[in-house]
Structure 1
Amino acid sequence: MHDIRTIREDPAAFDAALAKRGAGPIADRLIDLDQVRRQQVTDQQNNLNKRNLLSKQIGRAMAQKDSGRAEALMREVQSLKDKALDFVDTGDELHELLAALPNSPYPDVPEGKDEDDNVVVTERGARPAFDFVPREHDAIGPAIGMDFETGVAIAGARFTLLRGPVAKLQRALGQFMLDRLVADHGYEEVAPPLLVRDEAVYGTGQLPKFAEDLFRTTDGRWLIPTAEVSLTNIVREKILAEAELPLRFAALTPCFRSEAGAAGRDTRGLIRQHQFDKVEMVSIVTPDVSEAEHERMTSAAEGALEALGLPYRRMLLCAGDMGFTAARTYDLEVWLPGQGRYREISSCSTCTDFQARRMNARYRPEGEKGTRFVHTLNGSGLAVGRTLVAVIENYQRADGSVAVPAVLVPYLDGLTELTPR
């Protein structure tokens, strides 16, 4: 959520920043509502002060047995109470407008409408050379235990059943990536709730605008679309000591997305599922180090791809392709030889204090009495299903078998390849 004080200080800059995301001018309307709200607060306080003063005068009039004056004063007090009851708080309208606006992009975020306008930052890793025509993962998968038909029969479209070695490979990938974040990058492993309340998904920006992208239970809870929701809300409504920061959390969880806007897209294979596993990273930091933390987080995700021997590229997303809460996002895209293209496998975003304001997550700088909002960052380290796809396509062989990346062999009890059944 945005700080109305910042908007008042430079409304033109605010409108210019949101214009990069396709939003029309709104600063003047927000400022007008805020002025009305502040005047209402002043009027309400004056109303209360006047009632308190009149109440004291009523007491004196009754002590003097001046019933006529006391009754007149009581009528005036009642009139002020009625006026207070008729009060319509424009603060709610202001809050709703602010809650619906996306974060302002950083100045270095390129303008653009969609993924076609994203910018390649780096490209790393050698693409594998095959002496045969490489196949896509959904053509290779059934012979090594990837059962699309049974998954659909059990749960419907966009669900897959994994069996035997390929199921074990997926589990190994998640464990490997989580272990790296904990051992090599100082993240604290967390096993978070998969069901959360309204306040949690509001805090990380999924509500109110993106409710249709989520699954909701009959008792009003939400299935997490990413562990970012649970991990970021660890600091909700808290005031942290500066010495406690940075906080770095990582979790391997199932994630659930309705894919409401993805009808007809990636209907084959594992690329776009309603349920998938993901290793998530979340950092809670002071504002002065959030830029460095964004690079640190992205590098941690890149390290997993490099350890697995998967070619990838880092993309700087344009303003029109970024998520609602992000001020800057780097996407990591892995090379899929079967598809002959790069596909997203991780997004790492810095959200400045945007989420913190929604969660009221603050810290107290050392030596200061006041508090400030923390900065939050989140990233995939990595999406497990898409990493499985990348391993299958990059390590495929002509006979239908799939070699296991060396770093995963210890997680698979020495298994070095997945062979067709």
Structure 2
Amino acid sequence: MNVCVYTLGCRLNQCESEAIADSFAQEGFTIVGEAESADLYIVNTCTVTSKAEQKARRMIRKFAKSAPTLATGCYAQVNEEELKQLGEQIIVVPLEKKAHLLKLATHMKASLVSGMSTYEGCRSFSDGNASVFDYEAASFSYHSRAYLKIQDGCDNSCAYCRVHVARGKAVSLDVPTVIQRALALQDAGFQEIMLTGVNLTMYDHERDGLGGLLEQLLKRLSPSMRLRLSSMEPDHIDERLLSVLKDRRMQPHFHIPVQSGSDAILKRVDRHYTIAELSRILDRLREAKDDPFLAADIITGLPGETDEDFEQTYQFLQNQGFSNLHVFPFSPRPDTPLFKATDRVPESVRDERALRLRKLSEDLHRAYRMRQVGKDAEVILQNRKGGHWYGLSGNYLEVKVLNAPAFGREGMLVQGTFGPLAKQSERMEFIVDAPAV
């Protein structure tokens, strides 16, 4: 039986989807991609933007035409009835019950043996109870790197966001369990672990925080294990965290949800920092790592954003030299303070601003890649096609690997030097010197 787990949204969703896919693989089911035919589809949805919701509806409707389809995730949490109406073979699993899907494979195996159809098996699956930290994948069907969920929920209430409505208050996985799961991933052969959460820097923020966890984790992991953070909200990046980021195993790649470069807009949407404070954090990140990859989330057209506010944002991003920008036109979200804002920016202006920032992102990304030419680095091999390996560097650059060892394998670390940009793919070339020790 073929099972497809289709994921929209954040790296946390990817982590949870991997665990669900792994639970099916462990029971002997075949995991396939969206382009292949499946007997059961599971769609892990996102509600950050209306575009993400539109794509979720389109894919759920498409999948449900050919096979039973389970819809879960943040969108399923806040719009359960809407998704149920998309097709007869759709079953909605609210977010608070998503972790219970880890037990679905065992149930399905037994129900199919008893003669039930796939749809009947899904329908008969009891609700049960599960923890948001039950996700623990031994293998990763869709990624060569390991994901480890350590945090969920958010105590902030940003005026544009309803993820905190879907996910609830911030909760953290205890340190001993994080270490245990990380060591298990290391024993399974993974050489990079990405730590994920809804608001990662809110991990255990009333006690030792994320920095304290990383200190303990790095003491137990091998000298060759790479650690990467999925994203870091600026308002909880403290001295302890900045200090531990200097460890060579912490990868020089930081994703910061900036959202705006205007203090007036940041205050309007209830972000808990100023541009001056954010600038100091970025300076400290550059002190921790030499020319790290700095990515930023930016929302254009937030209510009240004037031309001056936007130009401040543009200049801030340009002057800071971010490596990549994830640009989102403002999308009014139900159940948020800005949903009924009366001072919305016209969509044409919002979209024109987004276009300018995406062009800026292309220029910044190319400039960053050009600066890396000739520098030594470490790359993790991800996939092989056309006779060449392709991989991901510690500073998050996709590369075409030249001179890879004959015994190369997915997930293997190799050392080498950045070469020029490939003409067609715009990937950098990476010339391997030796496998990483």
TMscore range, shorter length: under 0.3
TM-score by length of 2: 0.24
Higher helix proportion: 1
TM-score by length of 1: 0.24
**Greater RCO (Cα-Cα under 8 Å, separation 6 or more):** 1
